[in-house]
Amino acid sequence: MSCYLWMCVVFVEKILRVQPNVKRLYLLVRAPDAESALQRFNKETVAKDLFTILKEKYGTKLQSFLSEKVTPVAGDITYENLGIKDSSLIKEMCGDIDVVVNVAATTNFDERYDTALALNTFGAKSVLNFASKCVTIKLLLHISTAFVSGETPGLMLETPYHLRKALNGAHGLDINTEQKIIEKRLQELSSDETSTDELITLAMKDLSIERANKFGWPNTYVFTKALGEMILGHLKGNMPLVILRPTINTSTYKEPFPGWIEGIRTIDSLAVGYGKGQLSCFLGDPESVIDVVGSVYA
């Protein structure tokens, strides 16, 4: 489970537990159809131990409660209208939704450039476009990352990023140009008879790191997330927009109970290794600030 899916699970549980009077949550799920979206929601969200408190509270009525409050929607933010094919559902959502939360992303540091740009950058634009169609929209909350600030030491202020402004001051940063570079490189690779799917993937990963480093970002993930922030800031108009930049997400702090964590990511391996007795010590500066945050919404 990626840190973004982790946050989505925590977010949904939190709302259902402390705000059960919420009218409805439309939960966009990457799935081919509504039935598959529902199955994925039950398997990857409700089945988690995180939902223990809700299961104890509602017992046999939990599924009825969830059916009333949550609508898993099959879709994909890389497509127009979030990839939702049912026009009547789109109309319903645009009439009901007043808050849109975007946690979708690929967090791979060396993701293929075409994949990362489509999801982390143009995907953010797609979410903004859909939110603008919601007639009672009050807020678009976009989850980014603190590491869009790169690796520059010192105090990092919550300043917005603007189109064409590279982190290192380099000239030539343009999102549409980056898309054209991707398309040109893919055409070159496709026309080469010696290219295989594996070689194309490696070439697109190398391209992403090359472009990120050119403009001052250390990896594909933070570069494309920064571009996503830029495009939102440029196109938001009167849309109420909040960009949240969490650091490394760890376990829940207090709610619904302390210590829940899903999977092993980044710094989690240290805690697990220590808990299993496989790691007795770890070198570090006791005076340093650790870039971690407990459950963002709890």
pLDDT at residue number 275: 82
pLDDT at residue number 149: 93
Q: Is 230 helix (H, G, I), strand (E, B) or coil?
A: helix
Model confidence at 292, in pLDDT bands (50, 70, 90)? Answer: confident
pLDDT at residue number 189: 96
**What does pLDDT average to over the chain?**
91
pLDDT at residue number 6: 62
Among 120-129, 142-151, 267-276, the least confident range: 267-276
In whole angstroms, give the CA distance from residue 104 to residue 123. Answer: 8
Residues annotated catalytic, as ranges: 221, 225
pLDDT at residue number 293: 67
- pLDDT one-digit tens code per residue, 140-193: 999 999 999 998 888 888 889 999 999 999 999 999 999 999 999 999 999 999
Model confidence at 297, in pLDDT bands (50, 70, 90)? Answer: very low
Query: Exposed, middle or buried by CB within 10 Å (0-12, 13-18, 19+), for 172?
Result: exposed
More confident residue, 76 or 263: 76
DSSP assignment string, the chain: --HHHHHHHHHHHHHHHH-TT---EEEEE--SSHHHHHHHHIIIIITSGGGHHHHHHHGGGHHHHHHHHEEEEE--TTSGGGG---HHHHHHHHHH--EEEE------TT--HHHHIIIIIHHHHHHHHHHTT-TT--EEEEE--GGGGTT--S----PPP-TT--TT--S---HHHHHHHHHHHHHHHHH-TT--HHHHHHHHHHHHHHHHHHTT-SSHHHHHHHHHHHHHHHH-TT--EEEE---EE-S-SSSSSTT---S--TTHHHHHHHHTTS-------TTSPP-EES-TT-
In whole angstroms, give the CA distance from residue 145 to residue 224. Answer: 11
- pLDDT one-digit tens code per residue, 4-43: 456 788 889 999 999 999 999 999 999 999 999 999 999 9
Say what percent of the chain tops pLDDT 70.
Answer: 95
Stated pTM of the model: 0.89
The answer on pLDDT for 63 being more than 60 is yes
More confident residue, 270 or 140: 140
pLDDT at residue number 294: 56
Residue-range domain boundaries for the chain: 3-293
Domain 3-293 class, CATH top level: alpha beta
The answer on pLDDT for 224 being more than 60 is yes
Among 27-36, 203-212, 240-249, 269-278, the least confident range: 269-278
